[in-house]
Amino acid sequence: MRVLVTGGAGFIGSHVVEALKARGHEAAVFDLRDGLDVRDAWAVAAALPGVDAVCHQAAMVGLGTGFGDAVEYVSRNDLGTAVLLSAMAEAGVQRLVLAGSMVVYGEGRYECEWHGVVRPGPRAVADLDAGRFEPRCPQCGEELTPGLVGEDAPVDPRNVYATTKLAQEHLAAAWARSTSGSAVSLRYHNVYGPGMPRDTPYAGVASFFRSALARGEAPRVYEDGGQRRDFVHVRDVAAANVAALEAEPLAGSLAAYNAGSGEPHTVGEMARALAAAYGGPAPVVTGEYRLGDVRHITADSSRLRAELGWKAEVGFEEGMREFARA
């Protein structure tokens, strides 16, 4: 098939293009680096003739520098998606794979010994200032045990970026219902690997640590380093996109899948593994925090494995060694 990959020259998009070509598909790249803005209705319409499916990777990512970024996030992520979907409806292109994100969940899954599964609210500034980073049971205040979050969990975006990623899914679902199109959202967890952006406040935590090591500096780990994440290699994420594109389409709806490695690790563990692989200074735990960050969010990706036949292939240690050398 011929697939239009928005953001196809970017970090994840470029790996998607490679994976598509390896499977014998034709990938057409639509990227801002080439002067092609997904918010430009004329440019998008001109790119769609002959296209069988769209893999929508173009987005403004990361937590950003503050709420002042809100307009740009909404413009690039939500307006851009609306322009794309409108053009697809006009051109009759009926297959979409969207780069979703685990950030739509807010905090992950927690269980209280006394009250079962609970959903703690946003962490209080006073608690963060005092170094109390773990969410507590909203009913009894006791400690919670973090677990894996599934696709059926309630959504609760905690920052602007997360809000725009959820809005993208709603737009895609509305498009699918209106056009009988097929939409898949792959809710990426913490993607890392070769080609990751560097030295920008919009990059991921693995990139921050890798950039520090390249400067000969110790990675600075926020909070106490105990935040649990699912670090998934970019080649595995690219393979998930291909699997979604090759699956039997389900007309008129959006299907959401977690795309994670299934191996939770703490941010501190990741920093230590990366520093050891690079041969650089050991990480420094700072106790600092960022408002809008969540404490624990790790994926249950069993639905993606069961329904699309995908599984992560790159192990944590192997992936960190490769990323350290990249």
Residue 104 CA: distances (Å) to CA of 124, 132, 207, 223, 237: 20, 24, 21, 22, 18
Active-site annotation holder among 73, 105, 110, 161: 161
Give me 40's structure tokens: 């430009």
Residue 28 CA: distances (Å) to CA of 147, 169, 304: 39, 23, 25
CB 259, CB 307: distance < 8 Å: no
Residue 115 burial (CB count, 10 A): 13
SS3 30: strand
Fill in the DSSP letter of residue 231.
E
Place of tokens 């219902």: 177
CB 252, CB 180: distance < 8 Å: yes
Burial class (CB in 10 A: 0-12, 13-18, 19+), 279: exposed
Residue 59 CB contacts under 8 Å (≥ 6 apart), including other chains: 7, 76, 77, 80, 99, 164, 165, 168
- 188 flagged as catalytic: no
Give me 290's structure tokens: 């960022």
Triad 241, 147, 162: Cα angle to 5°: 50
Strand 53-56 with 95-101, pairing = parallel
Identify the CA nearest to 179 among candidates 277, 293, 92: 92
List alpha helices for the chain, DSSP H: 11-22, 41-47, 70-73, 80-91, 125-129, 160-179, 205-214, 234-246, 267-278, 302-308, 316-325
Q: Which residues are catalytic?
A: 161
